[in-house]
Amino acid sequence: MKHHTSYLDTRGLDHSLPAFSRAVLNGIASGGGLYVPETMPQMSLAEITALSSRPYWQRAAVVFSLFGIDMDASVIEELAQQAYGAQWANSRIAPVVEVQPGTHVLELWHGPTGAFKDMALQCMPLLFSKSIQLSRERGETAENYLILVATSGDTGKAALEGFANRDHTWIAVFYPAEGVSDIQRKQMVTQHGSNVCVLGVHGNFDDCQNTVKELFGDEHFSSLLLDNHNLRLSSANSINWGRLMPQIAYYVSAYSDMVASGGVKAGMPIDVCVPTGNFGNILAAYYAKLMGVPIDRLICASNENNVLSDFIETGIYDISRRGFVKTPSPSMDILISSNLERLLYHLAGAEKVARWMDELSSAKRFEVDHATFAAIHQTFVSGWVDNDTALSTIKRVFEAHKYLIDPHTAVAWEVAERMRGDNPVLVVSTAAWAKFGDDVLKALLEVPYEGSLPGQYRGLSGFETLAAVTSIAKGSAEVPTFLKDLESAEERFPETVPAERASVERALTSWLKEQ
Neighbours of 450 (CB within 10 A): 9
Note if 117 is an active site residue: yes
Picking from 356, 445, 357, the residue whose alpha carbon sits closest to that of residue 394 is: 445
Please state the φ and ψ torsions of residue 206, each to the nearest 5 degrees.
Answer: -65, -35
Collapse the DSSP code of 40 into the 3-class scheme (helix H, G, I; strand E, B; otherwise coil) and give the result.
Answer: coil
Could you say which of 2, 117, 213, 395 is catalytic? 117
Distance CA 454, CA 457 (A): 6
> What counts of helices (H) and strands (E) characterise the chain?
21, 15
CB 48 within 8 A of CB 37: no
Distance CA 36, CA 8 (A): 5
CB 27 within 8 A of CB 14: no
Q: Do the strands 365-367 and 316-318 form a parallel or antiparallel pair, or are they unpaired?
A: antiparallel
| 172 CB-contact burial (10 Å; exposed 0-12 / middle 13-18 / buried 19+) | buried
Distance CA 101, CA 384 (A): 23
Collapse the DSSP code of 197 into the 3-class scheme (helix H, G, I; strand E, B; otherwise coil) and give the result.
Answer: strand
Picking from 132, 134, 133, 108, the residue whose alpha carbon sits closest to that of residue 121 is: 108
Q: Do the strands 7-9 and 35-37 form a parallel or antiparallel pair, or are they unpaired?
A: antiparallel
Distance CA 416, CA 333 (A): 20
Q: Give all strands (DSSP E) within 241-327, no chain letters.
A: 270-275, 295-302, 316-318
CB 157 within 8 A of CB 184: yes
Rg (alpha carbons) of the chain, rounded to whole number:
22
> Angle at which helices 387-401 and 437-444 pack, to 10 degrees?
70
Collapse the DSSP code of 305 into the 3-class scheme (helix H, G, I; strand E, B; otherwise coil) and give the result.
Answer: coil
Residue count (the chain): 515
CB 448 within 8 A of CB 388: yes
Distance CA 382, CA 308 (A): 8
Residues involved in catalysis: 117
